[in-house]
Chains A and B, each alone.
Chain A
Amino acid sequence: MKYLDTRIFVLPLLFIVLLAGCDSTDPDPEGVGEEELITRLAVTLSANGQSVTYEANDPDGDGTNLQIETMVLQSGTTYSGSIAVFDDVNGEDVGEEIADEDDEHQFFFIPGGPAAARLSVVATDQDENGLPVGLSFQLTVAGGGSGTASLQIILSHFDDAPKDGVNRSDETDIDVTFPVTIQ
């Protein structure tokens, strides 16, 4: 027999009403977007009782407003240096975490530019395996008057690849190049 049983449709309609209810997708400005970032690298160089801090600052972490200060160095001077790293978006001192996991991190310093040969950097700290870290270092500027150069600072993270103190990893956390003026 043929009959139209519309009662059957009560089921799916009821089902969708029960499930749909109310649901908001408005973002919570406090809770969303806490992405982990590195936004600021501060390099402090000290010599002859004076210390100057040079910063690379990327306030959003995405390069939109990246600013890198120029290092002004004295010819024929040896500086003791230290590095601090911050996430200003989340208010974190990333440098502390690097120090905690120093066996998984290493800073590499690569001089460049016309006077590259006059810059040399040696890490002065070691991790638990006796390998360099680079949070503190010594920067030597050879004599020879004024000139221009650059100093690239790379932070490698060693997760899978073992840290050997010489080679970089494929996981670069920081890679900035400071312009350098030698006076």
Chain B
Amino acid sequence: MVQVVLPDLGRGTLTNHEGFYRMTGLPLGSVLVEYRFIGYEPVQRKILVEGGENELNVVLSETRYGLNEAVVSAESQADVMLTRSTRSIAVLDTRELEDLRGQTLGGMLAELPGVTTLTTGPSISKPVIRGLHSQRIVVVNAGVQQEGQQWGGEHAPEIDPFSAGRVEVIRGAAGVEYGVGAIGGVVRIEPEELPFEEPVTGSVSANAFSNNRHGALSAAVGRGQGQHWAWRVQGSARKAGDSRTPDHVIGNSGFQETDLAGTLGWRHGQSGFRLHASHFGTTLGLFSGAHIGNFDDLVRAIERGEPAVDFEFTYDIDAPKQEIRHDLVSLSAHTGLPTGDWIEVQAGFQSNRRAEFDAHRRFGDPDKDPAFSLDLRTWSLDTRVRQRPRSNVTGNVGASVTTQGNKNGESGFLIPNFRSTTVSAFAHEMWVTDRLTIDTGIRYDYRWQRAFPKENLSSGPFVRRTTTYSDVSAVLGIIWRPLDHWSFASNLGRAWRPPGINELYNFGVHHGTAQFESGNPDLRKERSLNFDATLRHVSQRLTLEFSAYRNAMNGFIFLFPESEPRVTIRGTFPAFRYVQRDVVLRGLDGFVDAQLVGRLRGHASASIVRGRETDTDLDLIDMPSDRIRTGLEFEMRERSWLSDMSLHADVEAVARQDRFPEGVDFAPPPDGYTLVHVGASGTWTRGSVPVTFSLDINNLFDVSYRDYLSRFRYFIDDPGRNVSVRMYIPFGPDRNGNNT
């Protein structure tokens, strides 16, 4: 069941049990063939296809470092898609990432069906997978689970999007592999592989965006030192000023970011280690017109429908703003066991420091003294044994410990200090044949948590609240491939999470929406049972993937309005309290990409989510609107100095969200909207240096719109037309293996 892939042609097949394979109808000439099997080093061979029969035989060696999770090792080659996973998975590979470089992580992920974003102005976007976000999504960066202040809707993932060599999104519950919190899905960001046994390699990427005069630069360099060592260093910087809607400048919406990452690897025989360190630092402005005092102010701002002040463009960032620093250090080591299996140990340390600055402070300088600051430190230790394939069965078992502490700074008190420790153990096995794969696993997590809230949430002395949570996650999935070009995958997964510290103990006003939020110390854990079914087809001219899902959640935690508003000396605020209900989310998402005629390709993707409370049949608030995106791409003729040149045009249509609970929101959902995006990209080779460039115009017609999941939709439109220019220059051995 070795995979045989022709990456350049986007074709492939599987060998039978004896290892024989056959492909017909290949074009004459030189073809790159890649052989892959879980647990083995992939092998690439170039052959010259002549008329008649051509024979090519290879032997795979068992030197590949372990399995890449339950997912078949690597890559986005269309063919691998068919047997990629029993889950619904979407991937952004190197090529697709190049086209999106410079965007925020959330913006990049929103290209994928089933993924939308929750935005707080142009500077902050959080991925929403099938209607779920924040604490219901796990983000894994360079193999370590990202631990930031996940609970806030305006807290974006603290990850440099330039550092990604590959991004993978698992839609739906994945509790067995990712543990607590993987209810809605998982985002995995993988850095590029270390360049073992290669000379100096690297790249430079430069990007400019017109709407907010945003410039982003990134550079990476790495090399292999002798046989055993390799390293890579990557850095990026960006600066953006205020964005603008078609009619207004979004005052104080600029941001800046500087990131640095380094990796050092050593390998010898079957052993190796990898040391990875990264620093992420950003300052984000928040639209100052969205900073309001009380509910009466909110009502007047909504009635006005546009900002009270005409802002001027600036790069300056004033309060309200956020300053976030995230540092990660991880060290992983692996070695082969005499049984042929692999054992791997990974230790990680993360420090997340967040300071939020309020618009005005009476006792200090609003730009220097944060309204509140939080310092979260997380230590993790993961051990895993990756089994070598034994008569069609492969998999991995593991255990991990994570401990973290969160401390408030001197000012402000939004969520209490806390400590928590989580212990987990899991086993995950796959049975693989050429037509059928069965995937099953189980996991147990136990969490101990001690928080220090005030006695009655709002006031009184600090008290100690110790709680423990535990539960079992499980998965059962199949991939059935009845025909060469079609596969059907289905997955039943269970996941859970304990209530978040904010959901338990939060108490206070949320500026921007003027709602008074109260935690609920009696909350229990939230559990999910997710079923999804995915149909995939890959042939030379047509690729499609279509998923349907149903995610039933027991004890879904969300803010529910209280009957009495909260009256304070600052005025009146609608009061909300965290409650638990049983809810069901269901939906459809998918995409199709087809070669229409000649060099013209067409593609379309769509996402639909429905969320309801089971008992009351009420719709859930803040579910993404239905959306569809269709486009055409024209591939230009290749020239010696110009390759991969293409032109594309896309239409993105988003419906109005008509399903929402009555009487909860402060304004009706905004109207639907349709945006047109056009662009061109290509690779210009000058001498031996390939320069990949692109020009894109997003929102070509400068349409005014507000997305339902924009947290500023009460105050101002989303940004208007944006012209972006990107350039990417790799150096070192290029993709074809030639040295430049």
B and A form one assembly = yes
List chain A positions with a Cβ less than 8 A from chain B. Answer: 1-6, 8-9, 11-13, 15-16, 19-20, 23-27, 29, 31-36, 38-41, 56-58, 60-64, 66, 87, 90, 92, 94, 97, 154, 156-157, 159-162, 168-176
Can you report 10 A-B residue pairs in the complex whose CB atoms are below 8 A from each other? A9-B335, A12-B347, A12-B381, A19-B349, A25-B417, A27-B416, A32-B417, A41-B569, A63-B567, A157-B360
Q: Give the residues in chain A near B335, CB-CB below 8 Å.
A: 4-6, 8-9
Measured CB to CB, the nearest residue on chain B to A90 is B363
Give B311's nearest chain A residue, CB to CB.
A160
A146 to B508, CA, bound (A): 40
Nearest CB of B to A11, in Å: 6
Query: Which residues from chain A contact B292 at a C-beta distance below 8 Å?
Result: 170-172
Determine the residue in chain A with the shortest Cβ distance to B715.
A170
Other A-B contacts than A32-B413, A33-B454, A171-B297, 8 sampled, CB-CB below 8 A, are A5-B269, A15-B331, A19-B349, A25-B452, A38-B569, A62-B507, A174-B570, A175-B572
Known: A35-B412, A38-B570, A172-B296. A12 touches B458 (CB 8 A): no
**B309 & A161 in contact (Cβ 8 Å cutoff):** yes
Known contacts A41-B569, A160-B251, A35 near B411 by CB under 8 Å: yes
- Please name the residue on chain A nearest to B348 by beta carbon: A16
Q: Are B406 and A25 in contact (CB under 8 A)?
A: yes
The chain A residue with its CB closest to the CB of B294 is A172
The residues of B that contact A176 with a CB separation of less than 8 Å are: 569, 571
What CA separation (Å) do A6 and B372 show in the bound complex? 45
Contact of A11 among B269, B273, B405 (CB under 8 A): B273
Q: A8-B273, A172-B570 are in contact. Are A2 and B336 (CB under 8 A)?
A: yes
A87 vs B335: C-alpha distance in the bound complex, in angstroms? 62
The answer to whether A171 touches B359 (Cβ under 8 A) is: yes
Assess whether B735 is interfacial by the CB under 8 Å rule: no
Q: Give me the 7 closest cross-chain CB pairs, A-B, nearest first.
A: A175-B571, A172-B293, A63-B568, A12-B347, A58-B569, A25-B405, A33-B413
Q: Is B410 an interface residue (CB 8 A)?
A: yes
Cα A11 to Cα B440 in complex, Å, equals 32
Chain A contact residues: helix, strand, loop or mixed: loop
Question: Using Cβ atoms and an 8 Å threshold, which residues of chain A touch B293?
Answer: 156-157, 169-173, 175
Across-interface contacts of B411 in A (CB, < 8 A) = 34-36
Which one of A15, A26, A34, A170 contacts B417 once the chains associate, using CB atoms below 8 Å?
A: A26
CB distance from B335 to the nearest CB of A (A): 5
Chain A residues with Cβ below 8 Å from B516 are 62-63
Identify the closest chain A residue to B569 (Cβ). A58
Complex Cα distance, B403 from A41, in Å, reads: 45
A-B CB pair tally, cutoff 8 Å: 191
What residue of chain A has the Cβ atom nearest to residue B332's Cβ? A12
CA distance in complex: A111, B500 (Å): 44
CA distance in complex: A173, B597 (Å): 64
Q: In the bound complex, how far is the Cα of B507 from the Cα of A64, in angstroms?
A: 11
Q: Is the CB of B379 within 8 A of A19?
A: yes
- Is A13 a contact of B345 with CB atoms below 8 Å? yes
Contact residue among B333, B360, B573 (Cβ-Cβ distance under 8 Å from A8): B333
Chain B residue with Cβ nearest A39: B569
Bound: A41/B383 CA distance, A: 59
Digitize B357-373: 1 where CB-to-A-CB distance is under 8 Å, 0 elsewhere: 00111110000000110
Beta-carbon contact of A11 and B333 below 8 Å = yes
Min CB distance, B121 to chain A, in Å?
A: 15
A167 nearest CB neighbor, chain B only: B308
Which chain B residues lie closer than 8 Å to A159 at the CB level?
288, 291, 359-360
> Contact check: which of A12, A31, A63, A162 meets B569 at CB < 8 Å?
A63
Residues in B whose Cβ lies below 8 Å from that of A23? 377, 405
- Asked if A20 meets B403 with Cβ closer than 8 Å, knowing A4-B338, A170-B289, A171-B359, the reply is yes
List the B side residues contacting A94 at CB < 8 Å. Answer: 362
Residues of B within 8 A of A97 (CB): 362
Once the chains bind, are B336 and A4 in contact (CB under 8 Å)? yes
User: How far apart are the CA atoms of A32 and B297 in the complex, in Å?
Assistant: 30
Asked if A27 and B462 make an inter-chain contact with CB atoms under 8 angstroms apart, the answer reads yes
Q: Shortest beta-carbon distance, A150 to chain B, in Å?
A: 14
Give A39 to B333 CA distance when docked, in angstroms. Answer: 56
Query: Using Cβ atoms and an 8 Å threshold, which residues of chain B touch A6?
Result: 335
List A contacts of B418 (CB < 8 A).
Answer: 25
Q: What residues of chain A lie closer than 8 Å to B569, measured between beta carbons? A: 38-41, 56-58, 61, 63, 66, 174-176
Q: Residue B363 contacts which of A92, A160, A170, A174 (CB distance < 8 angstroms)?
A: A92
Minimum CB–CB distance for A29 against chain B, Å: 6
User: In the complex, are the beta carbons of A31 and B567 less than 8 A apart?
Assistant: no
Q: Quote the shortest CB–CB distance from A171 to chain B (angstroms).
A: 5
Report chain B residues within 8 Å CB of A172: 292-294, 296-297, 570-571
